[in-house]
């Protein structure tokens, strides 16, 4: 056998005692020093056990390969009741499972609004009473191949974007984006909110369906790759992606519904976040392809319900690992301040799970000051995510980093080893139901979501390993 | 009575995030009650109206400024701040790339590395497995300097390494040299054709430095860790290291330095040795085998090189000493060692006395290795009773104390003044940063007898003890 | 001191025997076989400054440099199958023909004569060509010298590795011829490098190409790392290596 290190010019990687690194430097040998720090407290044994799991390396390779090779296409738009297992009186919500009692303001507001929209209650008070009484079935979007931004409430009559994975055959859904300001997903349920939902059901949904029938499936992977090169990070900035989507769909919209085309196009044009929901469904269908690989420590979902932040891990089935959702640190609209902010909410962290959003911050100079800083800090944020991810995305690239692929495939063991938590870039909902968006910023997921997932992986690891 | 400032500027654009920053800066001024600085979209106009501002007509391309303050003076201050903020926005540099922060894991460090590479892991033992596994999974050989790594983890690392064609040196591997690059505690050795496979760090250092003195150079020193030839680990790394040196064109003679292997490992290792094209000098230490010096001599024989007289500097007896008669009389022997194998060798050869390995776990927990910081050993030296004999080692090279004699020589001088005979072995080469001659002269000048062969030092020390009479 | 560059300085040691130039270089500089690699920055010094070399150290101004490790500029290649070398020859030719970096003496008759003489094992033609090449070309290391250095190193290492004594024999004669009066015919640094090459010493980039030829690792990337060295030095060395490889193959 030959050892590569015995011939050729040696490079040394040092981790640990600085003195031994300096001894290498004194010999004028090229060296990369690791800035090592102890892992998250109490995780040493679980880390060692999970790393020793003989399935892990191959399992993670499989999982991340599936995540990266997914080819999401927007195929159509359909009412939720046609495609989701959603009985009358049942509603989906963002994040891990939660009941009315622990639900935060925006989620409560959105549920009330959805009940009013469905005609399940006559007024807000009645809706609230029914919800509090448990007469309404609540279930996470993620349990239904669905994601929803912010409150993420989905009801039977809402129209859903249907995204199909041409590689692995999966399907995922996301609702249509309502725009900014007072909207259902931020917990607003006033008459203008319901009126807009009505219009979206009556006009927007059917027109988009007809347009997609004309245009055929839309390659979201290609569109997202382009948008990243146009300054979007695809969570908090979707301006380029929305523009690209509009450009793709406009002729078909005009062909399919000439008499409604203007109002539909105007609506999409007026909402820089219109693409967000399609991007989320694309990330969801990709992440779902990577689910259920035994032994894999890769995160396949991160989601918040306004109270808890939860993650799911490929090797751990549909179990949720949760911790308290934090309040984002960011900038506030108008006179709003941190006291008005609700804890972190929404399934939109599926974008970070899929390697965009906060992970692609370096691609988006226009929004970097959400980090409270400058381009350099955004670049640093993206770079730090390479530390906790398994791969670099082949299609989603960052021009400013020499077209390096975005960091993708969060590994629970790497989070525990480095203590680096996923960078999440998000909107901030008002804590009082009906307020709407109050700001935008960055939020840290709770450490315990990752440490409990790690502990579960350690338990699942085969016996008799180190 | 509060005052409002309301403006709509046209032809100015800033992104919403920048403007939120401006709004926040204004709102933070004392006396400012509300501030909205935003592009004049319907949404933002609505927000401002909700706050009670009376707004002029505006289209979304305009920049809305709406500030409310407790008095006109504050409002003026806010307006000044506003202008300052806008000026800052206009002048804002396009922030250069932050200095790339160093990698946080071995895995990340290896991402940019191609070609010949080795990882040197010296994190606390309970964390070493993760870092070492990163290297092995990337197909890169690793030296695990850390101790306290479990034997299960050691076996797992070595098995993974075998599957990818890498070598695990260690755990608890104190020295290695790869193509002249010293890792851990490493001497500056002349390049040459002798490859060492060593289960012992200081053992390898003793043999290599003696060879260097005799003019024989070293190609590589591959450490395997003290447990590699145990019944559990069964020579996993020894076998691979032997084969790697066999295939290495720079190595024409291999030396295997180890305690006698466990029976479970011995056959495997012997079979491997028999299958090699390169000759192997086994230096199996112990009562029935070699000491390190005779191992070096066996290597020189195999190279057909002359064996030099290993140099020594014998301390002359001082006046008060001679009073005890010929030779230092009587005292007991105290071995105060920093190198584990050197200590074991001395204990075995001396057959008497008390020996302390200050590099053992009990003495290194929470403090640096005695090769780096000899404080504990100096205390022990000071406690040796007058008339006794002290035997100690000084290991030079990269990673070790940059000037061990600086603290040791005065302590030795003091001990000698107390009537203690001090015998030192200095393991090093002239090329070492500390300088072999300089260290020897400092110690000899302090009154110690100095050797470069541990075995010779031991024999001399024994000759000074009471039992030698 | 002979010369100073941002990446290093050259010291000339005036001895009676062969010219001795010592390169003191930064870690990221090209490591010539006569190099001492610094762990820190290049010391400030001016042309003509005096330095003292000997006793394991170099003293330069107020600095004293000593070796922290020794590196081998002529690591043995180990055995190489002649068949593998025969396969490497067309690969090497193709890589060089494609390369954008052209040797400084592209199309020069002396190079052609050298290649032809070597291929036939003709000492006379080889040495006549070598005489025409020593010192030929501009710069600190003239192209002709680089071609000869590449050839010498390739003949010695590949000849030994593949067991082709005629190639090693040719290297011995060629080495004797080019080092005989190199000191008077080319620059001091180039003369030193010819002496190094005569002993089989070369920079790691050159050794890497030889290992590629012997099938130890992929050849093409190694060639790509060699070619950009210096102005035309990399391409010239590669040209010499190619002639050496072809020679060993044809003499095998």
In this predicted model, what pLDDT tens digit does every residue of B263-297 receive, in sequence order? 889 899 999 999 999 999 988 887 777 899 999 99
Interface of A with B in 10-49 (CB under 8 A): 10-17, 19-21, 23-24, 26-27, 29, 32-39, 44, 47-48
- The residue ranges of DSSP E strands in B304-388, in sequence order, are 312-313, 333-337, 354-357
Q: Is the domain of B359 the same as that of B317? A: yes
Please give, rounded to a whole number of angstroms, the shortest distance from the CA of B93 to a CA of chain A.
9
Query: Which residues make beta-bridge pairs with B141?
Result: B118
Domain presence at residue B206: yes
User: Which of B175, B189, B249 to mutate to probe the C interface, most C CBs <10 Å?
Assistant: B249
**Is residue B110 in some structural domain?**
no
* % of chain B with per-residue pLDDT over 70: 92
Q: Provide the shortest C-alpha distance from residue B81 to chain C (in Å).
A: 47
Query: pLDDT band at residue A466, thresholds of 50, 70 and 90?
Result: very low
Mean confidence (pLDDT) of chain A: 93
CB atoms near residue A321 (< 10 Å): 25
Q: Are residues B279 and B374 in the same domain?
A: no
Chain B residues with CB under 8 Å of C77 CB are 249
Angle at B157 between CA B155 and CA B161, to 5 degrees: 115
Q: Are residues B247 and B372 in the same domain?
A: no
Residues of A in contact with C208 (CB under 8 A): 8
Q: What distance in Å separates the CA atoms of residue A17 and residue B364, rounded to the nearest whole number?
A: 14
Query: Cα distance from C25 to chain A (closest Cα, Å)?
Result: 10
Q: Of A345, A326, A304, A349, give the one whose Cα is nearest residue A96.
A: A304
Q: Does B431 touch chain A (CB under 8 A)?
A: no
B461 and B327 within one domain: yes
Using CA atoms, how far apart are residues C244 and B37, in angstroms rounded to an integer? Answer: 74
pLDDT digits (tens, 9 = 90+) for A355-384: 999 999 999 988 876 655 678 888 888 999
Which distant-in-sequence residues (6+ apart) come within 8 Å of A213 by Cβ?
A76, A256
Top mean pLDDT of B214-223, B310-319, B372-381, C20-29 is at B214-223
The answer to whether B185 touches B395, Cβ cutoff 8 Å, is: yes
* Range in A158-162, A350-354, B430-434 the model is least confident about: B430-434
Q: Coil, strand, or helix at residue A382?
A: helix
> What is the least distance, in Å, from the CA of C71 to any CA of chain B?
6
Residues B155 and B281 in one domain: yes
Q: Say how many C-beta atoms besides its own lie within 10 A of residue B113's C-beta.
A: 16
User: What pTM was computed for the model?
Assistant: 0.85
> Which one of B245, B273, B302 terminates a domain?
B302
Whether B278 and B176 share a structural domain: yes
Is B112's Cβ below 8 Å from some Cβ in A? yes
Per-chain mean pLDDT for chain B: 88
Q: Are residues B348 and B287 in the same domain?
A: no
Residue of A nearest to B242 (CA): A1
pLDDT above 90 (res B42): no
Q: Does A9 touch chain C (CB under 8 A)?
A: yes
Q: How many domains does chain B have?
A: 3
Distance CA A420, CA A35 (A): 13
- CA dist., res. A383 & res. A404, Å (int): 10
- Across the interface, whether the CB atoms of B191 and C72 are under 8 A apart is answered yes
Predicted local confidence at residue B320, as pLDDT: 45
A8 close contact with C: CB closer than 8 A: yes
CA distance C74 to chain B (A): 10
ipTM entry = 0.91
Q: Do A28 and C27 touch (CB under 8 A)?
A: yes
- Partner B contacted by A366 (CB < 8 A): yes
Please report, for the domain that includes residue B49, its CATH number.
3.30.70
- What's residue B373's pLDDT? 78
**Domain final residue pick, B272, B302, B332:** B302
Q: State both tokens at C94.
A: 């193709």
In this prediction, residue A370 carries a pLDDT of 61
B337 and B398 co-located in one domain: yes
Same domain, B271 and B329: no
Shortest CB distance from C211 goes to which of A7, A26, A28? A7
- Chain B residue whose CA is closest to C80: B249
CB contact under 8 A, A7 and C216: yes
Q: Tokens at residue B400, please?
A: 């070790």
- Residues of C within 8 A of A30 (CB-CB) are 27
Contact between A439 and A370 (Cβ < 8 Å): no
pLDDT at B232 over 60: yes
Calpha distance B388→B416 (Å, rounded):
10
- Is the distance from CB of B214 to CB of B239 less than 8 angstroms? no
Test A7 with B116 for CB contact under 8 angstroms.
yes
Q: Is residue A250 pLDDT above 90, yes or no?
A: yes
User: What are chain A's partners, defined as 3 or more CB pairs within 8 angstroms?
Assistant: B, C
Hey, is the C-beta of A6 within 8 angstroms of any chain C C-beta?
no
> Which of B180, B247, B249 faces C71 most closely, judged by CB atoms?
B180
**Record: contact B188-C56, CB cut-off 8 A:** no
In the three-class reduction of DSSP (H, G, I as helix; E, B as strand; rest coil), residue B280 is classed as strand
Specify if B63 maps to a domain.
yes
| CB-CB neighbors (< 8 A) of B179 in chain C | 71-72, 75
Q: Check CB contact under 8 Å for A29 and C69.
A: yes
The pLDDT of B182-191, averaged and rounded, is 94
Q: Which residues of chain C fall below pLDDT 70? A: 16-19
Please tell me which of A91-100, B314-323, C139-148 the model is most confident about, judged by mean pLDDT: A91-100
Gyration radius from chain A CA atoms: 23
Residue A8 and residue B115: Cβ atoms within 8 Å? yes
Tell me whether B229 touches chain A (CB under 8 Å). Answer: no
Who among B34, B105, B165 is closest to A335 (CB)?
B34
Same domain as B180, residue B51: no
CA–CA gap between residue C126 and residue C117 (Å, rounded): 5
Q: Are C68 and B188 within 8 A, CB to CB? A: yes
Q: Are strands C63-66 and C57-60 parallel, antiparallel or unpaired?
A: antiparallel
Domains and CATH numbers, chain A: 4-36 (no CATH), 51-67+292-460 (3.90.1700.10), 72-281 (3.90.1710.10)
Which of A445, A457, A385 lies closest to A60, judged by CA? A457
The pLDDT value recorded for residue B90 is 63
A169 in contact with B at a CB cutoff of 8 Å?
no
Q: What digits encode the pLDDT tens for the residues C183-219?
A: 888 988 999 999 999 999 999 999 999 999 998 888 9
A 319-358: CB under 8 A from B = 331-335
Q: Is there a contact between B103 and A377 if contact means CB atoms under 8 Å apart?
A: no
Q: Which residue of A has its CA nearest to C222?
A: A8
Q: Is the peptide bond before C40 cis (omega within 30 degrees of 0)?
A: no
Chain C nearest-CA distance from B250, in A, is: 5
* Residue B266 maps to a domain: yes
Task: Please tell me the distance in Å from B192's CA to the nearest CA on chain C.
Answer: 9
Write down the pLDDT at residue A110: 96
**Full residue range of the structural domain in which residue B45 is found:** 3-91
User: Could you tell me which chain A residue has the CA closest to the CA of C26?
Assistant: A28
Contact: B372, A375; criterion CB under 8 Å: no
> pLDDT value at position B103?
92
Of B309, B345, B356, the closest CA to residue B202 belongs to B345
Same domain membership, residue B451 and residue B411: yes
Q: pLDDT tens digit string along B91-121?
A: 553 333 334 688 999 999 998 787 789 999 9
Query: In terms of CA atoms, which chain A residue is nearest residue B124?
Result: A16
Per-residue pLDDT, A192: 93
Pair (B297, B326) in one structural domain? no
At B98 the pLDDT is 38
Q: Does a structural domain hold residue B109? A: no
pLDDT of residue B257: 92
> What is the percent of chain A where pLDDT is above 90?
80
Question: Chain-centre distance of CA C8, in angstroms?
Answer: 18
CB contact under 8 A, A28 and C68: yes
Question: Distance (Å, rounded) from C-alpha A345 to C-alpha A333?
Answer: 18
pLDDT of amino acid B97: 36
Q: Which of B191, B249, B431 sits opposite C77 (nearest CB)?
A: B249
Q: Would you state the structure tokens that stand for residue B373, as one six-digit string?
A: 């910081």
Residues C70 and B189: beta-carbon distance below 8 Å: yes
CATH of the domain at B291: 3.40.50.261
User: Which residue in A has a C-alpha nearest to residue C209's C-alpha?
Assistant: A8
What letters, b where the CB count within 10 A reaches 16 and e where it falls short, cover B29-63? beebebbbbbbbbebbbebbeebebeeeebeeebb
Asked if the Cβ–Cβ distance from A466 to B101 is below 8 Å, we say no
Residue A201 DSSP symbol: I
Q: Is the pLDDT score of B322 beyond 50?
A: no
Average of pLDDT values for A152-161? 97
- Whether the per-residue pLDDT at B329 is higher than 60: the answer is no
């Amino acid at each position: 056998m030959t050892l590569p290190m015995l011939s050729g010019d040696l490079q040394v990687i040092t981790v640990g005692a600085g003195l031994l690194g300096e001894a290498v430097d004194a010999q004028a040998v090229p060296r990369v020093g690791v800035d090592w720090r102890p892992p998250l407290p109490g995780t040493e044994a679980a880390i060692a056990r999970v790393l020793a799991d003989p399935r892990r390396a191959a399992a993670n390779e499989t999982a991340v390969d599936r995540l990266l090779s997914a080819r999401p296409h927007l195929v159509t738009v359909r009412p939720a009741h046609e495609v989701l297992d959603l009985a009358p009186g049942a509603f989906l919500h963002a994040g891990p499972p939660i009941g009315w009692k622990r639900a935060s303001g925006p989620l409560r507001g959105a549920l009330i609004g959805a009940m009013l929209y469905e005609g399940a209650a006559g007024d807000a008070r009645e809706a609230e009473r029914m919800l509090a009484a448990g007469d309404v079935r609540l279930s996470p979007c993620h349990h239904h191949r669905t994601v929803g931004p912010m409150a993420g409430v989905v009801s039977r009559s809402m129209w859903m974007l249907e995204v199909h994975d041409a590689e692995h055959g999966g399907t995922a859904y996301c609702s249509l984006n309502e725009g900014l300001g007072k909207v259902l997903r931020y917990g607003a349920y006033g008459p203008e909110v319901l009126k807009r939902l009505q219009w979206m059901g009556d006009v927007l949904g059917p027109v988009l369906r007809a347009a997609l029938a004309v245009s055929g499936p839309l390659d979201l992977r290609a569109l997202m790759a382009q948008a990243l090169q146009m300054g979007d990070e695809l969570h908090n900035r979707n301006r380029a992606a929305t523009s690209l989507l509009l450009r793709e769909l406009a002729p078909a919209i005009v062909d399919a519904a000439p008499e409604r085309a203007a109002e539909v196009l105007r609506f999409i044009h007026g909402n820089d976040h219109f693409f967000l929901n399609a991007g989320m469904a694309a990330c969801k269908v990709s992440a779902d392809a990577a689910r259920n690989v035994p032994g894999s420590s890769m995160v396949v979902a991160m989601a918040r319900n306004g109270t808890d932040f939860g993650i799911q891990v490929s090797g751990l089935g549909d179990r949720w690992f949760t911790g308290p959702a934090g309040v984002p640190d960011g900038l506030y609209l108008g006179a709003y301040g941190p006291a008005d902010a609700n804890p972190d909410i929404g399934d939109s962290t599926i974008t970070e799970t899929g390697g965009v959003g906060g992970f692609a911050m370096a691609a988006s100079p226009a929004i970097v000051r959400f980090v409270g800083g400058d381009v350099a800090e955004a670049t640093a944020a993206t770079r730090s995510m390479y530390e906790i991810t398994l791969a670099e995305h082949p299609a989603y690239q960052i021009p400013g980093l020499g077209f390096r692929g975005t960091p993708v495939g969060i590994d629970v063991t790497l989070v525990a080893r480095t203590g680096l938590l996923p960078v999440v870039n998000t909107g901030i909902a008002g804590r009082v139901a009906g307020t709407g968006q109050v700001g935008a910023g960055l939020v840290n997921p709770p450490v315990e979501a990752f440490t409990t997932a790690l502990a579960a992986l350690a338990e699942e690891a085969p016996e008799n390993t180190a | 009575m509060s005052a409002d400032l309301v403006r709509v500027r046209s032809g100015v654009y800033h992104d919403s995030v920048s403007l939120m920053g401006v709004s926040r800066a204004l709102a933070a001024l004392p006396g400012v009650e509300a501030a909205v600085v935003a592009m004049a979209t319907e949404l933002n106009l609505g927000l401002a109206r909700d706050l009670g501002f009376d707004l002029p007509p505006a289209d979304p391309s305009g920049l809305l400024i709406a500030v409310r303050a407790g008095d006109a003076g504050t409002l003026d201050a806010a307006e000044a701040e506003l202008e300052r903020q806008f000026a800052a926005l206009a002048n804002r540099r396009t922030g250069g790339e932050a200095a790339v922060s160093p990698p946080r894991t071995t895995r990340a460090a290896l991402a940019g590395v191609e070609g010949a590479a080795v990882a040197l892991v010296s994190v606390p033992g309970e964390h070493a497995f993760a870092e070492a596994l990163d290297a092995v999974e990337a197909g890169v050989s690793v030296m695990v300097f850390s101790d306290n790594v479990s034997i299960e983890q050691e076996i797992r690392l070595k098995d993974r390494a075998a599957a990818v064609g890498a070598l695990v040196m260690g755990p608890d591997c104190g020295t290695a040299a790869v193509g002249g690059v010293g890792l851990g505690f490493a001497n500056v050795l002349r390049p040459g054709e002798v490859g060492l496979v060593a289960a012992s760090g200081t053992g390898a250092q003793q043999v290599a430095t003696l060879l260097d003195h005799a003019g024989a150079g070293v190609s590589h020193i591959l450490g395997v860790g003290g447990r590699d030839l145990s019944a559990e680990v069964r020579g996993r790394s020894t076998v691979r290291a032997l084969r790697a040196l066999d295939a290495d064109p720079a190595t024409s003679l291999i030396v295997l330095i180890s305690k006698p292997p466990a029976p479970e490992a011995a056959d495997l290792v012997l079979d491997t040795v028999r299958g090699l094209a390169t000759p192997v000098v086994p230096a199996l230490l112990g009562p029935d085998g070699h000491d390190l010096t005779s191992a070096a001599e066996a290597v020189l024989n195999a190279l057909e090189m002359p064996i030099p007289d290993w140099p020594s500097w014998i301390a002359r007896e001082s006046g008060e000493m001679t009073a005890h008669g010929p030779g230092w009389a009587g005292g007991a022997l105290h071995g105060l060692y920093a190198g584990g194998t050197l200590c074991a060798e001395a204990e075995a050869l001396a057959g008497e006395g008390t020996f302390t390995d200050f590099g053992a776990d009990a003495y290194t927990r929470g403090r640096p290795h005695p090769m780096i910081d000899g404080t504990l050993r100096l205390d022990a030296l000071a406690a040796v009773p007058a008339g006794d004999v002290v035997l100690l080692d000084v290991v030079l090279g990269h990673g070790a104390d940059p000037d061990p004699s600086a603290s040791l020589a005065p302590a030795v001088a003091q001990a000698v003044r107390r009537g203690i005979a001090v015998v030192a072995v200095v393991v090093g080469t002239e090329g070492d940063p500390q300088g072999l001659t300089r260290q020897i002269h400092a110690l000899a000048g302090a009154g110690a007898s100095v050797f470069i062969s541990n075995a010779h030092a031991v024999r001399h020390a024994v000759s000074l003890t009471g039992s030698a009479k | 001191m002979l010369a100073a560059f941002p990446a290093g300085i050259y010291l000339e040691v005036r001895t009676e025997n062969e010219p001795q130039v010592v390169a003191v270089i930064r870690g990221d500089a090209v490591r010539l076989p006569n190099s001492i690699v610094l762990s820190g920055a290049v010391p400030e010094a001016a042309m003509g400054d005096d330095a003292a070399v000997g006793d394991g150290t170099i003293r330069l101004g107020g600095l004293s440099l000593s070796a922290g490790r020794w590196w081998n500029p002529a690591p043995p290649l180990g055995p190489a199958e002649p068949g593998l070398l025969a396969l490497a020859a067309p690969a090497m030719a193709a890589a060089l023909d494609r390369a954008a970096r052209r040797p400084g003496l592209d199309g020069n008759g002396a190079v052609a004569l050298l290649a032809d003489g070597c291929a036939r094992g003709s000492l006379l033609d080889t040495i006549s060509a070598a005489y025409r090449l020593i010192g030929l070309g501009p710069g600190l290391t003239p192209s002709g010298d680089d071609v000869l250095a590449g050839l010498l190193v390739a003949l010695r290492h590949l000849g030994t590795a593949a067991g082709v004594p005629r190639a090693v024999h040719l290297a011995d004669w060629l080495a004797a011829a080019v080092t005989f009066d190199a000191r008077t015919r080319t620059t001091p640094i180039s003369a030193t490098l010819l002496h190094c090459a005569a002993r089989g010493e070369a920079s790691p980039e050159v050794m890497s190409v030889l290992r590629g030829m012997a099938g130890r690792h992929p050849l093409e990337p190694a060639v790509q790392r060699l070619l950009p060295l210096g102005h035309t030095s990399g391409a010239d060395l590669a040209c010499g290596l190619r002639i050496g490889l072809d020679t060993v193959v044809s003499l095998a």
